[in-house]
Structure 1
Amino acid sequence: MQSVLNALRVLEEVAGRQPIGVAELARVMELPKSSVQRALQTLHTAGWLCPADGTPTRWQVTAKALQIGRRATGELDLRDAAVPVMEELRRQTGETIHLAVPEGGRVILVERLETSQPVRIVLPLGQDLPAHASANGKAVLAASPAEALERYLAEGLARYTDTTITEPRLLLAELAEVRRRGYATNGGEWRSDVSAVAAAVIGRGGVPVASLSVNVPASRATDDSRAVHGALVSAAAKRLGVVLGARG
């Protein structure tokens, strides 16, 4: 039983820290390197993990974990509906488009359409983002019920960069602005090199089921481009919400 629990813990740690090596995993999990190595090999044999960049020293989660998660939450249907909308949004903006879903106070990237530009933002599918420090997350928070927002604030607002919002009153003011203009922005609040605009996709019952974002390197983001991309992503999120409602 302990070996099974160790393997599941390893899977969770790799998903949150990928790519990661045996020594670092053993340190953060406070387990012997031999135990971690056995768990990694078991998960690799089962198809849950694979070596990052083809090297056996660092590990990452495979698409199998993402597919299981999608089946569990119905994200496959969401993806089917979202991809045509994302393709149109990419055509309009020429930038990378992400689809994310809320989970446990964070947002998880579940689909990506990449830009053709040589300088781009590359985030792995399955990457989880802090809600208060990402455009996708702030879009979801702004559309969430008051009790859900209160629970999130009660857990504290971690700092990731110099521009991360860590004071509840400032975040509440930011979310009010998101509701007013219809989209959220991120100017290096999670990673200093990442800039994005995002809008929540509202499902049946009036709650956010996903968010769409336009992601650009911070060096390429301007006030004008944020406004243009914000209007486009807001319209795209509304179209996706209509599609999901029709399917439902």
Structure 2
Amino acid sequence: MRNVLNTLRVLEEVAARQPVGVGELARILDMPKSSVQRALVTLDEAGWIRPARGEITRWALTTKALAVGSRAGGDLGLRGAALPIMEDLRRRTEETIHLTVPEDGKMVLIERLETDKPVRTNMALGHSLPLHASANGKAVLAHSNPEAIRQLLTDELPRYTDTTITDPGELRAELADIRKRGYAVNRGEWRSDVGAVAAVVLGADEQPIASLSVNIPFSRLTAESEPVFAEAVSAAAAALTARMR
């Protein structure tokens, strides 16, 4: 049983940090390199991971992991409904579009449409984002029940950059502003070079089930572009909400 649990732990860390090597995984998981290597070989043989760019020492998820995870969360229907809306949003903004869902206290990227611009953000499918330090997460948090917010604030909020909101009172005020204006903004709060504008997707019970975001290099998130992105992503999220009801 321990070997199975260790293999699953390795798979989760590959998903979060891909591409990643055995040494880094061993340090993160506090496991012997030999144990991590055995888990990687097992996952590779089962088709869950693959060598990244032909480098055997660095690993990434295969589409098998994404497909199984999506079926487990019922996300294939959401992705199918979202794709034409995401295509239209990409056309309107000419930027990278993300669809994320809340899972285990994080936001998980389940679909991505990339911009044609040479300078762009880059994130692998299956990657997770912190709730308090991403536009996607803050859009969902702002429409979550008070208990979910209280649980998040029980522990100290991690700081990722100089602009990460870690003060509980400041975060609550930010979430109130998001509810009023209808969208969330990430101004380099998770990665200093990345910005995003996001809006929540609500289910039939008015609870958040996903968020859509426009993702750009921070240099392209300006006083002029932000309201344009906000209007476009808010309309797209509203359209997807209507489809999911």
Give runs of aligned pairs for residues 92-131 of structure 1, distance below 5 A: 92-131=92-131
Alignment RMSD: 1.0
What stretches of structure 1 of length at least 5 have no aligned partner?
none
TM-score normalised per structure 1: 0.96
User: Which moved further from structure 2: 10-19 or 80-89?
Assistant: 10-19
What stretches of structure 2 of length at least 5 have no aligned partner?
none
Please state whether the residue corresponding to 2:166 is helix, strand or coil. Answer: coil
Looking at structure 1, the residues matched to 123 and 170 of structure 2 have their Cα atoms a distance apart, in angstroms, of 27
Match of 2:4 in 1: 4
Match of 1:230 in 2: 230
Looking at structure 2, the residues matched to 96 and 210 of structure 1 have their Cα atoms a distance apart, in angstroms, of 17
Q: Is this contact kept in 1: 2:96–2:215, CA < 8 A?
A: yes
Match of 2:196 in 1: 196
Please state whether the residue corresponding to 2:160 is helix, strand or coil. Answer: coil
Letter in 1 for 2:177: E
Match of 1:55 in 2: 55
Looking at structure 2, the residues matched to 105 and 155 of structure 1 have their Cα atoms a distance apart, in angstroms, of 12
Please state whether the residue corresponding to 1:23 is helix, strand or coil. Answer: helix
Q: Is this contact kept in 1: 2:17–2:127, CA < 8 A?
A: no
Deviation at 1:140, TM superposition (A): 0.3
Match of 1:138 in 2: 138
Looking at structure 1, the residues matched to 88 and 168 of structure 2 have their Cα atoms a distance apart, in angstroms, of 36
Count of residue correspondences: 245
Give runs of aligned pairs for residues 168-207 of structure 1, distance below 5 A: 168-207=168-207
Residue-by-residue CA offset, 1:15-46 (whole Å, 9 max, x unaligned): 22222111122222222222211110110010
What is the aligned-residue identity percentage?
62
Please state whether the residue corresponding to 2:56 is helix, strand or coil. Answer: coil
Deviation at 1:5, TM superposition (A): 2.1
Match of 2:167 in 1: 167
Residue-by-residue CA offset, 1:84-140 (whole Å, 9 max, x unaligned): 100111111110000000011110010001111111111111110001100000000
User: Which moved further from structure 2: 179-188 or 3-12?
Assistant: 3-12
Looking at structure 1, the residues matched to 6 and 129 of structure 2 have their Cα atoms a distance apart, in angstroms, of 25
Looking at structure 1, the residues matched to 49 and 139 of structure 2 have their Cα atoms a distance apart, in angstroms, of 31
Letter in 1 for 2:242: V
Looking at structure 2, the residues matched to 29 and 199 of structure 1 have their Cα atoms a distance apart, in angstroms, of 34
Please state whether the residue corresponding to 2:224 is helix, strand or coil. Answer: helix
Please state whether the residue corresponding to 2:162 is helix, strand or coil. Answer: coil
Deviation at 1:226, TM superposition (A): 0.8
Looking at structure 2, the residues matched to 153 and 206 of structure 1 have their Cα atoms a distance apart, in angstroms, of 23
